[in-house]
Amino acid sequence: MTAPADPHPATAALATATASSLADDLASGRTTSVALTRALLDRIAAVDDAGPGLRAVLAVSADALDQAAALDAERAAGTVRGPLHGIPALVKDNIEGLGLPGTAGSLALAGRVVERDAPLVASMRAAGIVVLGATNLSEWANMRSPHSASGWSGVGGLTGNPWALDRSAGGSSAGSGAAVAAGLVPLAVGTETDGSITCPSSVNGVVGLKPTVGLVSTEGVVPLAASQDAPGPMARSVRDVALLLDAMTGGTAYASAPGSLPLGSLTLGVADGWRSGHQGTDALFDDVLARLAAAGTTVGAVVVEPPGTAGRQELDVLLCELKDGLDRYLAGRPGPGVRSLADVIAFDEEHADLELAHFGHEFLVLAQATGGLEDPAYAEARAGCLAWAVDEMLEPAFGGDLAPDLLVAPAYAPAWKSDLSFGDHFVGGGGASTAPSLAGWPVLCLPMGLVTGLPVGLVLIGRPNSEALLLAAGHAVEEALGLAGTLVPTWTAPGRG
């Protein structure tokens, strides 16, 4: 079957352009930031707002072209702030940015003017990035209901997957993953609490890094769980992710990592218990491991005895930290409107036709019933999560005779069909996502190919603050697979089955 044409042929080249290649075009004078920003705005209007109606972008910055013009003027005067000078990026709409809604997808925050840039956004602007707009997300970062559909929010509606428009774009950074994959922007910022960068990166066929918790500031980010929340970069190549991580942290520590590590010097540990459980995904993963081994990588099994999960204890942690964090955040955010989690619940119930039309807000109600961080169950649950994630899962995997540099696993199976009635049907993600999320350890997800015509990713898991190693190794793997910037969405129309 012939793949559908790109929904906006005039800007189709942007679907494979990397930030690095666009930066070269800017540096050489082949284009300007204004021209690039205008082309992306045209593409968003044609692809996201009209045409397929992807709904990946929740809002665009009214001053995007003014930002670009100012950066072009600086370049003309001989000032270049960094390698991403003049490159546009989108940020997830649970991150505050001047001129952006900052709603976390909830109508309860719609119209409440953002009065500051979150430090990570200020750092991106200082690096010369055009803050193009905000991406849609799973409302409240998917901590709403056990029956929620990833990528849906009251403000932004349901984000589609550009590979197959009736498939999920993952959660909760659905809009960021779909926007990068669709060529609406070369760079985007997501946030992860448990899988929320990894999943949309995998199912949309892009690269995403969930950094060590604390590496990127969460100030000005609508909180879910302080012990696990981590903003991170998403792009079409590992090199671009490294550049954006530098911009988000205000440093230069990561740009030189890609290209610094040959495959032959790398030892990867594989835990059978962390396979996806999807036949095609796991078969492709085995093929990738064989290719890496043939290229000189040491690949070996590591012993992980998965004793179930930390399920109930993780939920207790998330509920208690959500109660504490959201109450503090809403009370301190300027402007009229909801001031507490209780206010959000009341707002939803008052506007049930909009906010509760497809599924409930059971997790918000459960969180409100906790005592926050003072709840008697909290400390025990948090200790139990760390014991499971670190002592039972991660440390044994990094130990033993192999002593791998990093762990490797398939991320998720191909994207499932979006279902607003019954919620998500994802496969995979298990220990490979949850254990490092609970521990606050970093995870890099990058594409490993297509299964049934849809992208799937693999994850590399590192010890705390090993982002440079992850980026170096990820780039080496990416080069071996030859996929950087090559995956082009098929825009398959919704179908039966």
Q: What is the pLDDT of residue 1?
A: 37
Q: What is the pLDDT of residue 497?
A: 67
Nearest one of 297, 493, 308, 285 to 389, comparing CA atoms: 308
Q: Which of 106, 138, 148, 172 is catalytic?
A: 172
The reply to whether 437 belongs to the active site is no
pTM of the model: 0.98
Q: What is the pLDDT of residue 345?
A: 98
Residue 145 CB partners (closer than 8 Å, separation 6+): 359, 360, 361, 362, 363, 423
Q: Is 385:310 a contact under the CB 8 Å cutoff?
A: yes
Q: Profile the chain (497 residues) by mean pLDDT over runs of 10 residues.
A: 74 95 98 98 95 96 98 98 98 98 98 97 98 98 97 98 97 97 98 97 98 98 98 98 98 97 96 89 97 97 72 94 98 97 98 98 98 97 95 92 96 96 81 90 98 97 98 98 92 87
Q: Is the CATH code 3.10.28.10 the one for domain 9-306+391-481?
A: no
What is the distance between the alpha carbons of residues 224 and 262, in angstroms, rounded to a whole number?
A: 38
The reply to whether 196 belongs to the active site is yes
Q: Which of 20, 61, 92, 437 is catalytic?
A: 92
Torsion angle, CA of 276/294/302/445, rounded to 10 degrees? -40
Radius of gyration of the chain (CA): 21
Domain locations in the chain as residue ranges: 9-306+391-481
Q: What is the pLDDT of residue 305?
A: 64
The reply to whether 323 belongs to the active site is no
How many residues belong to the chain? 497
Q: Which of 148, 168, 176, 196 is catalytic?
A: 196
What sign does the CA torsion over 119, 120, 124, 130 have?
negative
What is the distance between the alpha carbons of residues 33 and 11, in angstroms, rounded to a whole number?
A: 15
